[in-house]
């Protein structure tokens, strides 16, 4: 192996510069987050004593804590646990992923299922911790970025955005050329993903000599989204600032003045430039107002967060030393020897293991056996929930696909079975034998019982035999959430049709068999279900729609939106015309929804969430104990 040396003082200044740049950019962009117009910022807004709180940095403090707890073997499973313990943000994909995690789902399924925000910026903004903890090892940084992003963005552009930035930033330790760094980052994402396409066009427009404002408009025209947090446009804005900026100040101002997800674009570019320039290369006028402080948002809690950038840097480096050794990178952090990089061949290019991550199915979860194994497992178990995800309705049938693979060096044999909730029906146990690297696929149908619940716990049971006797039993528990039952009607009237909804979207087209052959008609679509609330509570009831929408609660109109608004099914920022706050008695309530289709497929999400003011844990969280159907 070729050994590279990273001088510890160099390591410190690059990491400190990155965290300082992150604080500067986040503080600049936070006050104008979500403004879609071309901006004219020239400096910070009026600040309190120090930097502004920002989820761009907050979440990475939790990931540092996760690394300290679980070590270099950290995976999406442990990161999901960190969300449950320490993160109480309701924002967009955060809120949906937390809902899934609270109901017992795991990544990547938890980040994909019922999540309309997996193409957004929540994960690309979390890349620096992985780059700094894997300095000069972009493939390792991209691996951690993938594990992180699939918790709340699986199957979406958010995953690719985080892998792109993590690889690019890790490469800064051995490469300083801007164009080469962008090239390295792009090698870690699929060429045909939306993020890669936006970046390719950005680079071409810059080379053609178009101004930064012309390029901004072209990005929005070809890669834009009404949702200001959509990742491809914002990642392009971040790199736009880098391409067109003449220095640190000019670069972060151009990025932020593109508008949209401004705290993210400015914070990420600030981190990149801070890593390249070091703290001594950042202008004093930008450094002085934020200083060395770390400010943590109130919904991030329950762990020892670093008090300042120096502590954050030193703790990051401590974990980086462990990761470099554990991953056998050939990179040594040395207190005295000068930095010397010895990377042969196509340094920084994504290898086969990274490309395999792009192909992993988001409808299935993978388990290494025995559970707790991080590498070299004896067996692998894949549970594929299918395109409808891990949901099942009362009395509904569902097919689950289990694949057990022998990863040991010897043949194994035994019995596989499913442990089901009381009142459910499923397959009888099955005896199997597997040679090394042989797989057995078990497609099995289950029938749910008559009792609805927020989630149901099941278990795959592998009973290994030896010499015709039971040797060991391993159980892998997993959850299925309740589908909701609706009656739906199309604009032509007639009898209603029953449908099961696996998430929160009322899918009229699917229920009524409408497709490219049998085209859906415009007009009024209706749906009806029962909402069951276990305790009296105040809540926000949302009918987020891309069309005019009306919601009746027990026959009374409580939401009446007569215009088409920006579709925003977020717990905390759905349009005001599409939600109502009320006190809901315990018991069953009738919900009726009407939506007016006008030329495009209907998207309507029904969401019962908490109010802003809660005693614990945070605002606008989803009430998982409220059932629909």
The bridge status of strand 331-334 relative to strand 4-7 is: parallel
DSSP-derived 3-state class of residue 17: helix
Binding residue ranges: 261, 263
Place of tokens 């992985």: 130
Q: Distance of CA 396 to CAs 55, 121, 460, 591, Å? A: 40, 36, 20, 22
Q: Are 114 and 139 in contact (CB under 8 A)?
A: no
Q: CA 386, CA 226: separation in Å to the nearest integer?
A: 30
Q: Are 550 and 558 in contact (CB under 8 A)?
A: no
Structure tokens at 570: 């977020």
DSSP sequence for 55-117: HHHHHHHHHHHHHHHHGGG--HHHHHHHHHHHB---SHHHHHHHHHHHTT--TTHHHHTT-TT
Binding residue ranges for Mg(2+): 261, 263
Going 124 to 126 to 130 to 135, the CA torsion angle's sign is positive
Give the 3-state DSSP-derived string for 234-300, with helices as H, strands as E and coil as C: HHHHHHHHHHHCCCHHHHHHHHHHCCCCHHHHHHHHHHHHHHHHCHHHCCHHHHCCCCCECCCCCCE
Structure tokens at 331: 């990179």
- Taking alpha carbons only, the member of 410, 400, 470, 465 closest to residue 438 is 410
DSSP-derived 3-state class of residue 44: coil
Structure tokens at 501: 């909804």
Q: CA 305, CA 86: separation in Å to the nearest integer?
A: 11
The bridge status of strand 364-369 relative to strand 379-384 is: antiparallel
**Which region, left, alpha or beta, applies to residue 485 given φ > 0 means left and ψ of -120 to 50 means alpha?**
beta
């Amino acid at each position: 192996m070729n050994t590279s040396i990273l001088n510890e003082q160099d390591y410190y200044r690059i990491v400190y510069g990155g965290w300082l740049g992150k604080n500067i950019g986040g503080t600049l962009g936070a006050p104008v987050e979500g403004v879609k117009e071309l901006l004219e910022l020239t400096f910070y807004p009026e600040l309190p004593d120090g930097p502004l709180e920002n989820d761009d940095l907050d979440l990475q403090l939790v990931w540092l804590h996760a690394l300290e707890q679980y070590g270099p073997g950290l995976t999406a499973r442990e990161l999901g646990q960190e969300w449950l313990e320490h993160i109480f943000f309701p924002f967009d994909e955060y809120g949906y992923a937390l809902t899934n995690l609270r109901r017992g789902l795991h990544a990547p399924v938890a980040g994909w299922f019922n999540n309309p925000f997996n193409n957004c910026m929540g994960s690309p903004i979390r890349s620096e911790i992985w780059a700094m903890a894997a300095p000069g090892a972009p493939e390792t940084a991209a691996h951690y970025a993938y594990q992180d992003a699939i918790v709340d963005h699986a199957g979406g552009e958010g995953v690719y955005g985080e892998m792109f930035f993590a690889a690019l930033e890790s490469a800064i330790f051995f490469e300083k050329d801007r164009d080469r760094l962008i090239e390295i980052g792009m090698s870690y994402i699929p060429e045909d993903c939306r993020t890669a396409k936006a970046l390719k066009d950005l680079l071409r427009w810059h080379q053609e000599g178009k101004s930064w404002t012309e390029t901004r408009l072209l990005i929005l025209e070809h890669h834009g989204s009404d949702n200001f947090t959509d990742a491809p446009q914002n990642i392009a804005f971040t790199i736009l600032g880098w391409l067109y900026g003449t220095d640190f100040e000019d670069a972060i101002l151009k990025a932020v003045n593109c508008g949209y997800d401004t705290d993210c674009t400015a914070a990420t570019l600030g981190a990149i430039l801070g890593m390249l320039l070091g703290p001594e290369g950042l202008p004093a006028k930008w450094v002085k107002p934020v200083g060395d402080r770390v400010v943590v948002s109130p919904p991030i809690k329950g762990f020892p967060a670093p008090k300042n950038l120096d502590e954050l840097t030193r703790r990051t480096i401590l974990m980086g030393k462990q990761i470099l050794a554990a991953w056998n990178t050939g990179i040594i952090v040395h207190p005295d020897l000068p930095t010397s990089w010895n990377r042969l061949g196509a340094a920084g290019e994504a290898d086969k293991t990274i490309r395999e991550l792009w192909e992993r199915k988001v409808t299935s979860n993978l388990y290494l056996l025995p559970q707790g194994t991080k590498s070299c497992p004896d067996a692998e178990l894949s549970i594929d929930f299918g395109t409808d995800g891990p949901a099942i309705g009362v009395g509904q049938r569902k097919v689950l696909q289990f694949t057990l693979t022998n990863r040991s060096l010897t043949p194994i044999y035994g019995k596989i079975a499913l442990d089901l909730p009381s009142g459910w029906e499923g397959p009888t146990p099955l005896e199997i034998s597997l040679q090394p690297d042989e797989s057995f696929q078990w497609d099995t149908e289950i029938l749910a019982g008559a009792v609805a619940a927020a989630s149901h716990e099941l278990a795959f049971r592998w009973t290994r035999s030896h010499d015709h006797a039971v040797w060991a039993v391993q159980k892998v528990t997993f959850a299925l959430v309740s589908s909701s039952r609706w009656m739906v009607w199309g604009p032509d009237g007639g009898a209603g049709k029953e449908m099961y909804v696996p998430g929160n979207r009322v899918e009229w087209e699917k229920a009524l068999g409408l497709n490219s052959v049998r085209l859906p008609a415009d007009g009024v679509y209706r749906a009806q279900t029962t909402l069951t609330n276990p305790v009296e509570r105040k809540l926000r009831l949302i009918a987020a729609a891309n069309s005019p929408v009306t919601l009746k609660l027990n026959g009374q109109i409580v939401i009446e939106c007569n215009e088409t608004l920006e579709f925003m099914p977020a717990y905390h920022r759905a349009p005001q015309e599409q939600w109502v706050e009320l006190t809901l008695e315990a018991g069953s309530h009738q919900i009726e929804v009407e939506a007016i289709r006008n030329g495009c497929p209907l998207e309507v999400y029904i969401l019962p969430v908490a109010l802003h003011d809660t005693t614990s844990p945070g605002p606008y969280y989803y009430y998982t104990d409220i059932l629909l159907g």
